[in-house]
Amino acid sequence: MALPWLNNVEQQLAQSYKAQRFHHAQLLCGPKGVGKFELSEQLANSLLCQNINTHMQNEGSKLAPCGQCKSCSLTLAGNHPDKRLTQVEGQSIGVDDIRAISDFMNHSAAQNGNKVAIIENCEKMTTAAANALLKTLEEPSNSRFLILTTSHTAQLPATILSRCAKTDIKVANPEAAKTWLADLNISDYVWLPLFYTQPLLIKQWQAQEQLQHIDTLYKFATEFKQSHNFSPLVNIINKQPELIRIFTLFLSEQLKQQLIMGLSFDAYQSAQQALNEFLQNSTEVLGLNLPLAVSRLAHALRNIK
């Protein structure tokens, strides 16, 4: 999947590889929906490709697999023995997960080439896991590569950060993302520009048939002060709790517009504080009475002039 906003990053990584400066531990940092995981997969598949050097001479600016060799065939089949992916659905990446990666790295390569391990959302590592990974980072082996992704760089220990080559992934040109999204036949929702810097998030919502739900959240945000029946809003959030952040983002954008239109800064700050408290309670308080919390937020915003 070609992601045009990654072209510059891909060229920089290719240049470092050509110059033999490609670090054994690559850390891809950036918000959700910018293509960190897709890039990590491309890098891993390229490093495993048996024709990578010849292919790069022909391709020039990108680090990309040839797609023809035995190694690429194994990758396409999803069973390359020298590639390991660690993805954790739950809250943390444990020390056993990292020890398994270290064990994987220490064994000989089945295809007599590179071995690559990807750790997605590496900020989820426990302290013990991070310490275990540190040993692997401090004792790099030839032909062994670690590729880590994170949306929360500040949550990583400084010892991990200092031993990785950090690459920031972002959408520098929202117009490129807009054009790319237009090719996916996504309806032109009025709120889409808020997410042009996270285009893969929109693509994910399309795949999960969530776009209409998000549009409903936007409409609730625009009419929130006047609304009294919050049942449809509560139903959407109860079924998809992660969308609470999207709803609060929409409300925050409405407040910014009101500030531009003449809302006093003190009133704006009070409204934002009420919104932040709602978000914090909604994401941290177990068993929160969501209908009551929504009603209280609406009441607080109505009383702010």
Q: Does 64 score more than 90 pLDDT?
A: no
Instruction: Name the residue with higher pLDDT: 61 or 67.
Output: 67
Number of Cβ within a 10 Å radius of residue 81: 14
Q: With CA atoms as reference, report the closest residue to 69 among 40, 47, 41, 84.
A: 47
Res 73: pLDDT: 95
Cα–Cα distance, 70 to 85 (Å, whole number)? 20
Confidence (pLDDT) at 58: 66
Mean pLDDT to the nearest integer, 135-164: 92
Q: What per-residue confidence (pLDDT) applies to 1? A: 57
pLDDT of residue 89: 78
pLDDT digits (tens, 9 = 90+) for 11-31: 899 989 888 899 999 999 999
Give the per-residue pLDDT at 253. 95
Give the residue-averaged pLDDT of 228-255.
Answer: 92
- DSSP letter (8 states) at residue 109: P
Strand ordering across the sheet containing 25-29: 83-86, 115-119, 144-150, 25-29, 165-168
Predicted confidence at residue 170, as pLDDT, reads: 94
Of the listed ranges 73-77, 81-85, 136-140, 250-254, the least confidently predicted one is: 136-140
In this predicted structure, the answer to whether residue 135 has a pLDDT above a threshold of 90 is no
User: In angstroms, rounded to a whole number, what is the distance separating the alpha carbons of residues 83 and 88?
Assistant: 17
